[in-house]
Amino acid sequence: MLAAKILLCFILACVPAYIWGYIFYKKQPEPRRWVALTFIAGILSVVPIMIYKFSWEFLPKLNVFLYTDNMDHDLLGFSNLVYLPVGVVLAFMFVGVLEEYMKNIVVRKTDRKHLSSIDDAIEFCIIAALGFAFVENMMYFFYIWNYQGFDSLFISFIFRSIFSTFAHILFSGIYGYYYGVAHFATPIWQEEIQQNRHPILRLMHRILHLKGSTLFREEKMMEGLLLAMGLHAFFNVALEVGWTFIIVPYLVIGYLLLSHLFNKKENHKRYNHFIKVPLT
């Protein structure tokens, strides 16, 4: 019975991974060998997070939720009607940081030598996100079947296949764009950016004695990671506090944004040399 459950959950998790993967693969086809490798690496990126959560049994002080739960009575007010517990916001910001960092380091470790355009970076980040989402979905399906019954599995399958899986794609795809810009920082800087830089940034270059392209690369890496983490945290918080009416327009806009990035002419440009991006 256990083996049958695992097999069915595996099959269910394959469905959204394949459908979403096909949709975005058609936008920017990549060598299948590297697609498969990136997907597997995305699966493995879940392992450090599972080890971290498993460590809570032996080292409970590592559990960040013990600290954020104490802040549930502290509220952030955005209007007279909208209040959010500080603990919820901080907890899901941490989740966003952890998950996005693990997903995106996959591409930085496995695919940086195979990128020839910004679109490539977006595509590989999406594939890594699908690997991560595949494992997460499989675990959720198994948990729900065990503790809520088989009848609850269908609703979970629909929601996670459409919304949760695409949310992972969106966060990583946005990061992929900024990572791609950072990866090709030197030619992009030389060709398009330098004349438009803000005077304050130029002053920072002189003070820190940094090459313009070096600082530009670090800026874009940080922008992408912060944006992916922020979008991830917002999605999780919206689900936690029951703002389900936001989810559909939020993800529709996200899909349009990703499609726009794939269609931008400058993102298709092929570069003849590769710029190594620090992995720290």
61-101 pLDDT per residue, tens: 888 777 666 665 555 444 454 555 566 667 667 777 788 88
- What's the chain's average pLDDT? 80
Measure the CA–CA gap between 17 and 129, rounded to whole angstroms: 9
**Tokens 């910001």 -> residue:** 93
Tell me what pLDDT residue 212 has.
59
The pLDDT assigned to 280 comes to 40
pLDDT higher than threshold 60 for residue 102: yes
Per-residue pLDDT reduced to its tens digit, 27-66: 878 888 889 999 999 999 998 888 888 888 888 888 877 7
Q: Which of 53, 27, 18, 10 is nearest to 268 (CA)?
A: 27
| pLDDT of 278 higher than 50 | no
| Residue 223 to residue 204: CA distance in whole angstroms | 17
Q: What pLDDT score does 36 carry?
A: 92
d(CA 207, CA 188): 23
Nearest residue to 124 (alpha-carbon basis) of 167, 169, 165: 169
Q: To which H or E segment does residue 188 belong?
A: helix 185-188
Question: What are the CA-CA distances from residue 45 to residues 5, 97, 130 (Å)?
Answer: 23, 13, 11
pLDDT of 244 = 81
Give the pair of three-digit tokens for residue 25: 């693969």
Question: Is the per-residue pLDDT at 165 higher than 80?
Answer: yes
Identity of residue 108: R
By CB neighbour count within 10 A (0-12 exposed, 13-18 middle, 19+ buried), where does 83 fall? exposed
pLDDT value, residue 198: 57
Local confidence band at 276 (pLDDT 50, 70, 90 cut-offs): very low
What's the predicted TM-score (pTM) here? 0.81
217-263 pLDDT per residue, tens: 778 888 888 888 888 888 887 887 777 888 899 899 998 988 888 88
Per-residue pLDDT reduced to its tens digit, 128-150: 999 999 999 999 999 999 888 88
The residue that leads in pLDDT, 163 or 274, is 163
Lowest mean pLDDT among 97-111, 147-161, 201-215: 201-215
CB-based burial of residue 185 (10 Å sphere; 0-12 exposed, 13-18 middle, 19+ buried)?
buried
Q: Is the pLDDT of residue 187 over 60?
A: yes
Could you give the CA distance from residue 244 to residue 226 in angstroms, rounded to a whole number? Answer: 23
DSSP 112: G
Q: Which of 203, 185, 170 is nearest to 276 (CA)?
A: 185
- At 79 the pLDDT is 47
Q: With beta carbons less than 8 A apart as the criterion, state whether 136 and 42 touch.
A: no
* Most confident listed range (61-65, 122-126, 209-213, 237-241): 122-126
What is the model's pLDDT at position 134?
A: 96
CA-CA distance, 101 to 96, in Å (whole number)? 8
Q: Is 85 helix (H, G, I), strand (E, B) or coil?
A: strand
pLDDT reported for residue 169: 94
Question: How many C-beta atoms lie closer than 10 Å to residue 14's C-beta?
Answer: 14
pLDDT of 19 above 90 = yes
| CA–CA gap between residue 163 and residue 160 (Å, rounded) | 5
Rounded CA separation 160/138 (Å): 10
Helical ranges in 111-164 per DSSP H = 118-148, 153-159
Closest residue by Cα to residue 173 from 126, 239, 215: 126
